[in-house]
Chains A and B, each alone.
Chain A
Amino acid sequence: MVFGTIERRERSELMIRESLELSISSLKHRKISSALTILGIVIGITAIISLLSVGEGLQYAVSEQLESVGSDKIIVTAGSNFMTAFTGEGLVEDDIDMVDSVNGVDTAVGILFKSLPIKYGKESMLSQVIGMRSKDTEKIFSEMKVWEVDIGRYFKGGEKGVAMLGKVAAEDLFEKNIDIGDTVYVNEERFKIIGILKSTANNQRDSSIIIPLEQLREITGSKDSISIIFAQVSDIMRVENIAEKVEGELDDKYGEGYYQATTSQQIAESVSSIFAIISFVLGGIASIALIVAGMGIANTMFTSVMERTKEIGVMKAIGATNYNVMEIFLVEAGLLGLFGGIIGSALGFLISQIITIAAGSFLPISFRTVVTAEMIIFSMIFSFIIGVISGILPARRAAKLQPVDALRR
């Protein structure tokens, strides 16, 4: 304070102005502090929501796939490892009829997978060749609708030298597009294209060529093996029971453990759960940022308590209990967290939309992130709780301040 030759009146004006400046400065400072504290929570929540939205989007994509395949399907494979089953051929044609005869199974079809070079014009590409029985094609394309024809038709009983192509095989595999009527060679055998199929989300499937099973056997010398049997059940609700029955019948015939009957639902569930685990792990790592933000809240609250020691003393002097004081600071801390959670949720939603747009332009598949109400509600509750927990120690310190000491400062 500058004293001395200044007039008394001017001096009191000076003091008021400085008190004001002090208050404004203090508030402005505390505003920066609060803003930075909230910013910490905002960053944490934004990261968590963005990551969780990607995880949800992936799980949503899985259920979309399941819908298109149908949840009334059973897939029979040979072997204990589902992934390797697609390249195996442990089943035989007789098994198809056996599966068909199981109670509850509507229809059963079998296909054989092979990997062979396809020649079109001058180019040759190794691709997946699917062998289908002519009597199964109608079931697969009309009844079960696991795959649908886009242009042309599927081959029927007795036809030879005809083939169908997946969308990618027709348009992307070779330099030129393949059309209906064109000729391709599989292992030197001639095939006329009579149908092009709709695209599925499975790239390998879409790059396949489908030829009559009898011909595939001739080409490769495989006698009666089958890679996979698809079955459709009449009652979706009992599909798991029926799958168990199918497995039981196969176990009876071949011995336990050779075959597996899995429902499309079960497959969807296991893929979904893998995605869920991944998003939990990533979300967990992002949550660490939230813990650090909580430390920031604690820091700010400690400072706040110190700065307002006098204020607290006054409160206690006029009758506030320790509990009242603690309550005030806990609520403040909780609000800091909640405020951060709200802004973070909004930002997180924004970023998830950006991710969806980016995915659309960079990836060949359409992928959407999904932000659910539960995510937002959970984030807000979580950030509020973090705020409160972070505020416990500072609030206790405020509560324990002796009014007499506090006022004296």
Chain B
Amino acid sequence: MIRESLEISLDTFKHRKTSSILTILGIVVGISTIISLLSVGVGLEQSLSEQLEGMGSDKIIVMPGSGASLSLSSFTGESLTDKDVKTIEGITGVKMAAGLLFKTLPVKYKGEVVTTYISGGTAETYNKMFLDMKIFEIEEGRTVKNGERGVVAVGSRIVDDVFEDDVNIGDTLLIKDKKFKVIGILKSVGNAQDDQNLYITLDDMRELVGGKDSLSMIYVQVSNTDNIDSIADKIEDKLEDEYGENTISTITSEQLAEITGSIFSILTFVVGGIASISLLVAGVGIANTMFISVMERTKEIGVMKAIGATNYNVMEIFLVESAVLGLIGGAIGCAAGYVLSRIINIFAVGMLPVTFEATVTFDMILFGLGFSMFVGIVSGIFPARRAAKLQPVEALRYE
């Protein structure tokens, strides 16, 4: 009989252990999913802000178009002019301004044709942008010189990622059947599109696509970042005096960071929200386990109350139990989520057009632990209340 009682107790414990493990496992799955997805979101956000930082916080980009009509085509529009650059430079607070003409054109190299962005600028513009504003940096060679024609500086990806054969300094590229000698290679900016740009002289560009003095966009550097927003407004006003209302847009790197930041926040929210559904289900599992637990320990509860425990005491005990279940699941889940994010990293690097690293932050872990404990407590409320309301006399009578 003693051996069988032992067996029964062990059996009960084994069962309750299985129950607890399954319940905790549910939380682990939920939290690890959330953590790994959040880490991807944070990684993407970080790589984007890295790129914006590369540009510098003292830059304004001026483009034709505004609000509703701003679209992809605005980037290769041609409504700004050389005169506008002078106008902008005349505004107080502006250190310097440089304009570029952008178009997408087919580029031929050793028989292979790829269409990519070509930008045309004067030697002066490139010097300003590369040396003074440091928007781009040269890795090898140089950019175009004053008066030069038929030369091109290429982005870092052109070297070995765009054409089948490698492109080096001295090689010849054909743009719309015109020859261009490669004289320089730029450092990588961090995103694939910019890294496969070609930079030729403005005169060559205008010859290729027409347009007498048109520009697609103007980069502006301000002397003082404190009032960069008001300078941007002034630029808009002055140019709109000439072109009409609502024809010019300016973006500061700060605004750009805000916009991309909020896009990512929304994405992370949506994806994280979907992942949270599994946490919700795990919470339902905790509630289930706690209900069973309460039922199985009815006698125990009766004894507790008989020896003086209050309803509140009983409720507290069960709430703590469910909170602990949640917390343990959360801790293991955070660890599992971290491991998952490392695995994602191994696969993602190289697949994405930007430099990226899934990052698990301290905040995330705190959130994971807190959230899982919260789910545990909330799931345990109803079972705990039932435990609290049990009448001691009936509870003791229960076998």
Contact = CB atoms under 8 A, between A and B. Distances in A.
B43 to A, nearest CB: 17
B288 to A, nearest CB: 4
B197 to A, nearest CB: 12
Contact residues on A (Cβ < 8 Å of other chain), bracket: 35 or more
Contacts of B243: 117, 124
A143 interface: no
A79 B29 contact: no
A122 interface: yes
Interface string B268-301: 0001001101101110110111011001000000
Nearest to B278: A289
Contacts of B37: 285
Contacts of B22: 295-296, 298-299, 302
Interface in A322-367: none
Nearest to B212: A221
B115 A84 contact: yes
Interface string B116-158: 1100000000000000000000000000000000000000000
Contact of B281 (A22, A32, A44, A302): A44
Contacts of A78: 106, 115
B68 interface: yes
Nearest to B211: A221
Contacts of B68: 125, 172-173, 207
B136 to A, nearest CB: 20
A51 B274 CA distance: 9
B71 interface: yes
A80 B26 contact: no
Contacts of A318: none
A303 B274 contact: no
Contact of A87 (B64, B76, B106, B292): B76
A319 interface: no
Nearest to A390: B22
Interface string B241-277: 0011111000000000000000000000001001101
Interface stretch (B10-18, B87-95, B222-230, B357-365): B10-18
Contact of A88 (B29, B65, B104, B211): B104
B343 interface: no
B278 A291 contact: yes
Contacts of B64: 115, 117, 126
Contacts of A395: none
A306 interface: yes
A204 interface: yes
B274 A285 contact: yes
Contacts of A228: none
A306 B277 contact: no
A398 interface: no
Nearest to B72: A87
Contact of A288 (B33, B244, B285): B33
A18 interface: yes
Nearest to B104: A84
B15 A303 contact: yes
B284 A204 contact: no
A78 B77 CA distance: 18
Contacts of B106: 78-80, 90, 257-258
Contact of B29 (A36, A119, A257, A291): A291
B66 interface: yes
Contact of B287 (A36, A83, A123): A36
B99 interface: no
A40 B398 CA distance: 30
Interface of B: 4, 7-8, 11-12, 15, 18-19, 22-23, 25-26, 29-30, 33, 37, 64-66, 68-79, 103-106, 108, 111-117, 176, 209-212, 243-247, 271, 274-275, 277-278, 280-282, 284-285, 287-289, 291-292, 295, 397-399
23 contacts: A22-B399, A29-B291, A36-B284, A36-B291, A44-B277, A84-B104, A86-B73, A88-B105, A115-B64, A115-B78, A117-B79, A126-B70, A256-B113, A257-B106, A257-B108, A288-B278, A289-B280, A292-B30, A295-B26, A299-B18, A299-B289, A302-B18, A408-B4
Given A126-B65, A285-B275, A288-B275, 18 more contacts: A29-B292, A32-B291, A36-B287, A51-B274, A79-B104, A80-B115, A114-B78, A117-B64, A125-B247, A126-B247, A127-B69, A207-B69, A223-B210, A286-B274, A289-B281, A292-B282, A296-B22, A306-B12
Q: Which 5 A-B pairs have the closest CB atoms?
A: A124-B244, A79-B115, A257-B113, A115-B77, A289-B278
